[in-house]
Chains A and B, each alone.
Chain A
């Protein structure tokens, strides 16, 4: 089976899933009740009237986590092709990857020492 052809069922499945999602939303819009009031449409804030804007500044921690994730995920992506050819490569391939993982762990130790994983 050709490679692009193997993905055809996935395309069908995605279109079907979008269709199901839209159908559910459409049915809901059709038969759901519609009684709008100002109170109902105001954002939930523990029963208080809305105090201020909800898009505030957020902790930089989330940004750091996202950055570290991108870094490590790219490293992990390098490991995928390595894992697939591992059996043909043998010891030399294994030792090369040990060097790679060691460098990765150095960066990991640095982040740990800098406190990138602390949530206080």
Chain B
């Protein structure tokens, strides 16, 4: 078998696994969890009619979206109106390629690293794709030819680029410590020792400031409350997807949740040791499976955090949002970078 074919087959198998888990299991259940949690927090039952505990609610919603009419408003730019949700969905679905979801697993006499593509640019790929997603938002707002949609698209692009800066500089400290842009190397570095002798070498301990900046910026990047200003319904109806219906709207919805899952996976990978667990050094098939479970648990915790915050905090005003991003997070992320540099030079990490 030629090496190209082998890589392609192995990649296809891993893509099938990741999409199977994310699109088939996590995404529908996440919609259910979010609505049930909202019910719990707001002291009401939440969806409980479709299937046991309302578990099939997401499937019913997806089927319903297929049956609905795909309306393109008469003054809209038809091509861009169709293209915008695709531009948003494709990056959201492909971000997962570089995130290592486990150590290595030995199957059919080969060691298979549990990451779809272990490329040398790692994090740059993730940031590049999130930037491409912004075009989807802007084009959706522009192509709809609707005032609310246009304002929503503009707002979200301003918001996402503002926070991407702080997020990017906070992430630089992580690579400074690990010495590589590869996410697999970042995880291996965090699994390699201890911090101050008793804490795991997870980046969240030496770079607590950077970790907070990254997590809060991720909320802004994914347009979630308390930063969901692009679709502040009291002012902008539904923001950039005001004029979208049926599955085109569904694709915006899917992309938002996929971005949430990817952001949670990134937090777990960059700051909380990825698939590694301190004091646990299993090898072989069991080790591989345990590492996947550990990664899933960490990612699941951050997904839970996203949902929890959404139903607990009120929404910021737009000027407060921009102030926080530019005047607070940008200088603090540079401070975090210098702090990490000093720690590395002082041989603390």
Contacts and interface: CB of A to CB of B under 8 A. Distances in A.
Interface residues of B, number: 85
A28 B117 contact: no
B331 to A, nearest CB: 7
Interface string A71-107: 0110010011001111100110010011001001100
A72 B147 contact: no
Q: Label chain A's interface by main secondary structure.
A: helix
Given A10-B117, A80-B181, A86-B341, A24 B69 contact: no
Contacts of A32: 66-70, 246-247
Interface stretch (B7-15, B101-109, B198-206, B220-228): B7-15
Contacts of A119: 318-319, 322-323
Q: Which 10 A-B pairs have the closest CB atoms?
A: A9-B11, A119-B319, A28-B247, A17-B93, A83-B176, A69-B161, A41-B74, A17-B90, A9-B117, A117-B326
A84 B120 CA distance: 11
A29 B68 CA distance: 9
Interface of B: 3-4, 7-8, 10-12, 14-15, 19, 65-76, 82, 85-86, 89-90, 93-94, 96-98, 116-120, 124-125, 142, 144-148, 150, 154, 157-158, 161-162, 164-165, 168-169, 172-173, 175-176, 179-181, 237, 242-243, 246-248, 250-251, 318-319, 322-323, 326-327, 330-331, 334, 337-338, 341-342, 344-345
A3 B120 contact: yes
Nearest to A120: B319
Contacts of B154: 58, 62
Nearest to B321: A119
Interface of A: 1, 3, 5-10, 12-14, 16-18, 20-22, 24-25, 27-29, 31-36, 38, 40-46, 54-56, 58, 61-62, 65-66, 68-69, 72-73, 76, 79-80, 83-87, 90-91, 94, 97-98, 101, 104-105, 108, 112, 117-120
